[in-house]
Structure 1
Amino acid sequence: MTELRPIDLDTWPRREHFEHYRQRVQCSYEVTVDVDVTAFVAAVRTSAAKTYASQIWAIATVVNRHAEFRMQLLDDGSPGVWDVVHPMFTVFHPDTETFSALVVPYDEDFGRFHAAAVDTMDRYRDDVRMFPQDDRPRNVFDVSTFPRTSFTGFALHVRDGYDHLLPIVTLGRYRTEGDRTLMPMALQINHAAADGFHTSRLVQELEDLFAAPSWLA
């Protein structure tokens, strides 16, 4: 059963940092990076896998490796960590030029997750409600996309968002530089939950996963 487990503040190395960025200097930060997806793009084009579902699985896999990206506040304002967090991602409706946000339970098995994601996207393809699922869990992090735009910077301004500890990921359109294919990715991170080291590690591990895409098979 998934639960939000309290963090033991007496033994937590980041207690001072968490309290500083929660109580004295409330802040989040945004970073935009180019993720090298050259090997991933070549592999997905020769497989039966869908690109978007595969991207979401890769991101969710790296996010779920690290407690700092599974954090949420308990009712008393203290930090807790989910056993697992699930991706909530946007899908576009061309007829209405709107989007829906869908949740698929994270599964470390790529094949099972991919099948569930494709099925969910097909099921709600014509449902234009913003949140068509009635059973959305609390333990979700956000993934969205600018499918037609490759960007070098992106900023998301969330009013009263300092209580939101889970990461927000935005993907852009691929672009080619020489023999490399790059995917813009913007991350919004709550500084109380994670520092630059943690975010840099997430980016590096995601690049490593895309660089060795044997999991697509």
Structure 2
Amino acid sequence: MNPLNTTTTPIDPATWSRREYFYYFTKMMPTGFTVSADLDVTVTKDWLAARDLKFNPAYLYLVSRVITEMPEFRVSRTDDGELMHYEVLHPSYSVMHTDHTISSLWTAYDANFAQFYQNYLADQAQYGDLHTPMAKAPQSANTYMIGSIPWTHFTSYTPLPFTPLNTFFPVIQAGKFINESDHWQMPLSVTIHHAVADGYQVSQFFTKLQNAFDHPEIWLVD
């Protein structure tokens, strides 16, 4: 396993294109928003099934990889208020136990899908049966919330944080697949702070992720 990537790049407020928007949406009108859309996961689902690979780690990997192309999704700040971009974000997700309780795990992102897949399986083996809210203690600040509700094909999902934010990472949630005309549709919700992203950036995220689901032979193969 490679060392955990916690690399950051400072944001220069004098040249940052979102400087005024960040101030407005954090100080004058604190605002976040959620966008939900159906994504077609047919090609990736079939590609994984043909290779006897699990869907969930591929979902976590593809979202995390697309996030590496979205600097707006990787904004954080220090305790002193200095803003920065993380190079990558590591997915933090829930696992379901047989008694329907959940535990939070996270897996180190790796640009190599095969390595990430092994990281995921190792985390499941070591921590997956621990019945506690946070089965694997966090080791860095650059984890983001991502999950799935595989029992419900929702049209909207909105998490409600109750504490002040030091990071401005997205919260991403998938829902139950449904089959329509031989195509598997998966609802996906993206919630993000308006200080760092607008509807355009979230739309770009959906476009990039759909492209990834359409071409697993490119995105999941080195």
User: So what's the TM-score if we normalise by structure 1?
Assistant: 0.93
Question: Is 1:186 the counterpart of 2:189 in the alignment?
Answer: yes
Deviates more, 1:52-61 or 1:146-155: 146-155
Q: CA deviation at 1:161?
A: 4.6
Q: What's the counterpart of residue 144 of structure 1?
A: 147
How far 1:164 moved relative to its partner?
4.0
Matched, 1:197 2:221: no
Give distance in 2, aligned partners of 1:164 and 1:152.
26
Structure 1 gaps, min length 5: none
Q: Tell me which amino acid in the other structure corresponds to 2:32.
A: S
Pair 1:209-2:212 in alignment: yes
Aligned alpha-carbon RMSD (Å): 1.5
Residue of 90, 95, 98 corresponding to 1:91: 95
Q: Whole-Å Cα distance in 1 between the matches of residues 155 and 58 of structure 2?
A: 23
Question: What is the CA-CA distance between 1:69 and the residue it aligns to?
Answer: 0.8
Cα separation, 1, equivalents of 2:116 and 2:13: 34
Q: How many residues align?
A: 216
Q: Which moved more, 1:40-49 or 1:194-203?
A: 40-49
1:67 to 63, 71, 80: 71
Percent identical residues: 28
Which of 106, 115, 119 is equivalent to 2:118?
115
- Rounded Cα–Cα distance in structure 2 between residues aligned with 1:57 and 1:187: 16
- Do the aligned partners of 1:162 and 1:190 also contact (CA within 8 Å) in 2? no
Cα 1:181–1:42 change in 2 (3 A) is same
For the residue of structure 2 that corresponds to 1:5, the secondary structure is strand
Runs of at least 4 residues off by over 2 Å? 1-6, 76-79, 160-164
1:20 is aligned, of 7, 15, 24, to: 24
Aligned-partner residue type, residue 116 of structure 1: N
Structure 2: gaps (5+ residues):
none
Aligned partners of 1:68 and 1:179: how far apart in 2?
A: 35
